[in-house]
């Protein structure tokens, strides 16, 4: 409680005033404090807080009734910016303008029965006038800042909710690769991918240019757009990461569709070629049988036989392919010597390799017993050796395909190495896809359907094995089969 000025010293009143004012922290309590300080100095019967507009319109802030006659005095006090006392018959008006350097806030008006206003009291009211003025100025400014902060916060929340509602992960990295901003989606992003972002961030910072790339992580595809941002002299990188697995899947399906169509037209062509040959040779035999000598006849029969074999291989491929697709292919495992099987394949392909000038090198060593589906494994190895010969490099003087076998733990490892045309690194995985044929002019010259390696891979996997490829374009390829040797009654 502020002591009455009459009963206490000027300085203790002053310190009380300062203390009361220092406790104020909002506009509401500022009015109450002013009222309290005033009542500490004089006996206040009634009090008003008048706001005066620029056009000198008077308005009581708390909308209480007042005598309109005093309006002129209020306006005068507001202009004069000094504490003034207007004595009436039984009471006095005390006008205290509350102002600061920039603003006239309001005029505090008290009605009091007091009639003795000492110099000290006037001085104290002047101090109140000035200090409360500054207090109001600060509180108004503070309110404005709060309001501004609120608006900024509101805008920030609005932007955040927009950034959180997108399906993209958005993140901003500083030059030190620390996160300055991220949306919620970024937090849910695969950790493996988060770790893969360093290189694109660094590249963006180094080049100061936007970058974009695609990444595949655990069967999912992501597009990453990296944007260089310079903000207040600081370098930042804004990343927008989008899951494009769906689009990729669609692209893949479209591609498979296209490949299927190509496969169909290729298959028709592949079937027609041996069929035409068979027809032409058999027609000639029937039409000119008597004119043909035995040797020519035999040559014709051989051609018919070889074309029939080719035709039957194509049809078998087709049949296997559809069985694998329908998952109706079952293995019939028996025990056999794998080296003997490979030797047999080499013998069968001898003529083909001679025609293509490719040497087959197979060091048939000790017998290795395996328990597998002999027909299917024959098909796998046959296909790989045949490909090595088919895709041999005409530019090379000595062309070869070398086959080795070895046992490692419970697996048999078969390596089929060639120095043929090799495979582009980007085709390394794709060549095992159905219908895929490498996009090179060399491949176009060679007959094929693009299903061979996909069948090979499926057959190896059906045996619980794997197929790896080590290749270099122009140098050659090594296909490495690792297949469990298998045990009886498996
Ligand atoms: P095809 O031989 O009928 O085209 P494959 O599935 O057997 O089908 O092979 C797929 C593609 O892989 C081939 O078109 C060829 O481009 C490539 N390829 C396969 N084997 C080899 C090899 N040994 N050397 C080079 N390219 C090969």
Q: What is the arithmetic mean of pLDDT over 41-51?
A: 95
Q: Which helix (H) or strand (E) holds 177?
A: none
Contacts of 132 (CB under 8 A, 6+ apart): 21, 30, 34, 98, 108
Residue 4 pLDDT greater than 60, yes or no: no
Strand, helix or coil for residue 45: strand
Whole-number Å distance between alpha carbons of 84 and 78: 10
Alpha helices in 293-371 (DSSP H): 294-326, 338-348, 350-355
Atom of ligand 1 lying closest to residue 432 CA: 6
Q: How much of the chain is in helix, strand and coil states, percent to nearest 5? A: 50, 25, 25
Q: Which of 449, 446, 475, 469 is nearest to 457 (CA)?
A: 469
Residue 44 token pair: 């206040």
**CA 239 to the chain's CA centroid:** 8
| Predicted local distance difference test score (pLDDT) of residue 329 | 85
Whole-number Å distance between alpha carbons of 159 and 164: 8
Atom of ligand 1 lying closest to residue 420 CA: 24
Whole-number Å distance between alpha carbons of 104 and 157: 36
| Predicted local distance difference test score (pLDDT) of residue 3 | 45
**pLDDT tens sequence across 406-440:** 999 999 999 999 999 999 888 888 889 877 777 66
CB distance 112 to ligand 1 below 6 Å: no
Residue 21 pLDDT greater than 50, yes or no: yes
Whole-number Å distance between alpha carbons of 141 and 26: 11
| 423 Cα: distance to centroid of ligand 1 (angstroms) | 9
| CA neighbours closer than 13 Å in the CB half-sphere of residue 347 | 7
CB distance 476 to ligand 1 below 6 Å: no
Residue 89 token pair: 């018959």
Burial class (CB in 10 A: 0-12, 13-18, 19+), 188: exposed
Strand 92-99 to strand 466-472: parallel, antiparallel, or no bridges (unpaired)?
Answer: unpaired
| 375 Cα: distance to centroid of ligand 1 (angstroms) | 21
CB distance 423 to ligand 1 below 6 Å: yes
CA dihedral of residues 254, 257, 258, 262 (deg, nearest 10): 170
| CA neighbours closer than 13 Å in the CB half-sphere of residue 313 | 18
Whole-number Å distance between alpha carbons of 303 and 288: 17
Closest CA to ligand 1's atom 25: 422
CB distance 77 to ligand 1 below 6 Å: no
Global pTM?
A: 0.51
**pLDDT tens sequence across 307-363:** 999 899 888 888 888 888 788 888 999 999 999 999 999 999 999 999 999 999 998
Helical axes 27-41 vs 10-22, angle rounded to 10°? 170
Spatial contact of 123 and 10, defined as CB atoms under 8 Å apart: yes
Atom of ligand 1 lying closest to residue 454 CA: 6
Q: What is the arithmetic mean of pLDDT over 91-103?
A: 92
Whole-number Å distance between alpha carbons of 33 and 251: 74
Q: Any idea which residue has 């008048």 for tokens? A: 50
CB distance 380 to ligand 1 below 6 Å: no
Whole-number Å distance between alpha carbons of 470 and 415: 10
Q: Which of 403, 421, 431 to mutate to test the pocket of ligand 1 (most atoms within 8 A of CB)?
A: 431
Cα 126 to Cα 83, 94, 144, 248, 397: the distances in Å are: 6, 11, 27, 79, 111
Q: Which of 347, 363, 416, 357 is nearest to 390 (CA)?
A: 357
Q: Per-residue confidence at 450, pLDDT binned at 50, 70, 90?
A: confident
Q: Which of 430, 450, 477 to mutate to test the pocket of ligand 1 (most atoms within 8 A of CB)?
A: 450
**pLDDT tens sequence across 359-385:** 999 987 788 999 999 999 999 999 999
Whole-number Å distance between alpha carbons of 41 and 28: 21
Contacts of 107 (CB under 8 A, 6+ apart): 49, 50, 52, 74, 77, 78, 95, 96, 97, 98
DSSP letters spanning 54-104: TT--EEETT-----GGGHHHHHHHHHHTS-EEEE-SS-EEEEEEEE-SS-E
| 321 Cα: distance to centroid of ligand 1 (angstroms) | 16
CB distance 418 to ligand 1 below 6 Å: yes
**pLDDT tens sequence across 233-286:** 899 999 999 999 888 888 888 888 887 787 787 778 888 888 999 999 999 999
Strand 411-418 to strand 476-484: parallel, antiparallel, or no bridges (unpaired)?
Answer: antiparallel
Residue 446 token pair: 């060679």
| CA neighbours closer than 13 Å in the CB half-sphere of residue 250 | 4
Q: Which of 273, 389, 391 to mutate to test the pocket of ligand 1 (most atoms within 8 A of CB)?
A: 391
Mean pLDDT of the chain: 89
Q: Any idea which residue has 């040779």 for tokens? A: 281
Whole-number Å distance between alpha carbons of 192 and 350: 50
Q: Which of 270, 379, 387 to mutate to test the pocket of ligand 1 (most atoms within 8 A of CB)?
A: 387
Contacts of 14 (CB under 8 A, 6+ apart): 124, 127
Atom of ligand 1 lying closest to residue 421 CA: 25
| 431 Cα: distance to centroid of ligand 1 (angstroms) | 7
**pLDDT tens sequence across 150-178:** 888 998 888 888 888 888 999 999 998 89
CB distance 134 to ligand 1 below 6 Å: no
In this predicted structure, which of 3-12, 303-312, 477-486 has the lowest mean pLDDT?
Answer: 3-12
Spatial contact of 168 and 193, defined as CB atoms under 8 Å apart: no
| Predicted local distance difference test score (pLDDT) of residue 10 | 85
């Amino acid at each position: 409680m502020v002591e009455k000025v009459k009963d206490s010293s000027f300085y203790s009143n002053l310190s009380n005033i300062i203390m009361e004012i220092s406790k104020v922290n909002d506009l509401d309590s500022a009015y109450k404090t002013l009222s309290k300080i005033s009542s500490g100095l004089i006996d206040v019967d009634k009090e008003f807080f008048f706001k005066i507009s620029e056009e000198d319109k008077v308005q009581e802030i708390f909308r209480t009734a007042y005598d309109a006659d005093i309006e002129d005095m209020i306006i005068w006090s507001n202009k004069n910016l000094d504490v003034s006392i207007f004595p009436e018959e039984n009471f006095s008006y005390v006008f205290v303008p509350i102002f600061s350097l920039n603003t006239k806030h309001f005029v505090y008006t008290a009605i009091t029965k007091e009639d003795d206003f000492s110099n000290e009291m006037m001085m104290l009211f002047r101090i109140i006038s000035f200090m409360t003025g500054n207090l109001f100025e600060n509180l108004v400014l503070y309110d404005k800042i709060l309001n501004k902060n609120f608006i900024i916060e509101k805008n920030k929340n609005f932007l955040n909710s927009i950034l959180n509602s997108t399906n993209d992960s958005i993140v901003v990295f500083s030059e030190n690769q620390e996160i300055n901003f991220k949306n919620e989606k970024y937090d849910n992003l695969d950790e493996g991918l988060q770790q893969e972002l360093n290189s694109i961030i660094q590249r963006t910072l180094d080049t100061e240019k936007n970058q974009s790339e695609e990444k595949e992580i655990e069967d999912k595809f992501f597009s990453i757009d990296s944007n260089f941002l310079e903000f207040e002299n600081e370098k930042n990188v804004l990343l927008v990461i989008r899951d494009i697995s769906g689009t990729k899947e669609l692209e893949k399906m479209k591609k498979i569709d296209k490949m299927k169509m190509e496969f169909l037209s290729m298959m028709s062509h592949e079937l027609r070629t041996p069929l035409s040959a068979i027809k032409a040779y058999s027609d000639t035999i029937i039409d000119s049988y008597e004119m043909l000598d035995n040797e020519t006849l035999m040559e014709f029969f051989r051609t018919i036989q070889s074309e029939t074999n080719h035709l039957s291989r194509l049809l078998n491929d087709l049949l296997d392919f559809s069985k694998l697709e329908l998952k109706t292919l079952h293995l019939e495992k028996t025990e056999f010597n794998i080296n003997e099987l490979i030797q047999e394949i080499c013998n069968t392909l001898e003529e083909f390799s001679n025609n293509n000038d490719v040497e087959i090198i197979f060091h048939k060593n000790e017998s290795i017993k395996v328990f597998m589906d002999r027909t299917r494994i024959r098909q796998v190895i046959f296909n790989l050796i045949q490909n090595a010969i088919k895709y041999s490099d005409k530019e090379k003087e000595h062309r070869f395909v070398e086959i080795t076998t070895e046992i490692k733990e419970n697996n048999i490892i078969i390596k089929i190495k060639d120095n043929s045309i090799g495979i582009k690194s980007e085709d390394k995985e794709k060549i095992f896809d159905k219908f895929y044929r490498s996009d090179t002019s060399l491949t176009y010259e060679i007959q094929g359907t693009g299903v061979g390696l996909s069948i090979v891979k499926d057959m190896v996997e059906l045996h619980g094995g794997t197929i790896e490829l080590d290749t270099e374009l122009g140098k050659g390829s090594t296909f490495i089969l690792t297949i469990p040797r298998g045990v009886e009654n498996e």
